[in-house]
């Protein structure tokens, strides 16, 4: 399962959501899209909207696709049960990746 975080970035909430899927037996990753776009920070809770304004949808699709390729490359992933889901803005952009 590839989870795409909301505009606040990788928060405890999205980590808990990932843990729920992992407990169901899914290899679950949440790529930090903001970090992958070159915006390192301990948290993006207050800067996520600003980063979104500076970044194109195409840039987000590119880094989501990187996460997707990484997930597909893992030996513990059952490719017949692979999925992507997003929260908030991630839900809007994820299907494009």
Q: What is the pLDDT of residues 16-60, one digit of tens each?
A: 999 999 999 999 999 999 999 999 998 999 999 999 999 999 999
**What percent of the chain clears pLDDT 70, i.e. is strictly above it?**
91
Ramachandran angles phi, psi of 48, nearest 5°: -55, -45
Cα–Cα separations (whole angstroms), residue 92 to 6, 22, 30, 52? 10, 23, 16, 13
Position 54 scores a pLDDT of 94
How high does pLDDT run on average in the chain?
91
Lookup result for tokens 């993006």: 44
Question: Residue 8: pLDDT above 90?
Answer: yes
Question: Residue 76: pLDDT above 70?
Answer: yes
> Where are the chain's structural domains?
2-84
The first and second tokens of residue 35, run together, are 């970090």
Instruction: Give the chain's length.
Output: 97
């Amino acid at each position: 399962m590839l989870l795409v975080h909301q505009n606040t970035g990788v928060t405890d909430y999205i980590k808990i959501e990932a843990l729920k899927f992992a407990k169901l037996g899914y290899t679950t990753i949440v790529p930090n899209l903001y970090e992958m776009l070159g915006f390192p920070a301990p948290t993006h809770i207050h800067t996520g909207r600003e980063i979104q304004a500076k970044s194109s949808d195409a840039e987000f699709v590119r880094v989501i696709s990187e996460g997707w390729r990484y997930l597909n490359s893992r030996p513990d992933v059952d490719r017949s049960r692979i999925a992507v889901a997003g929260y908030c803005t991630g839900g809007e952009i994820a299907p494009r990746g």
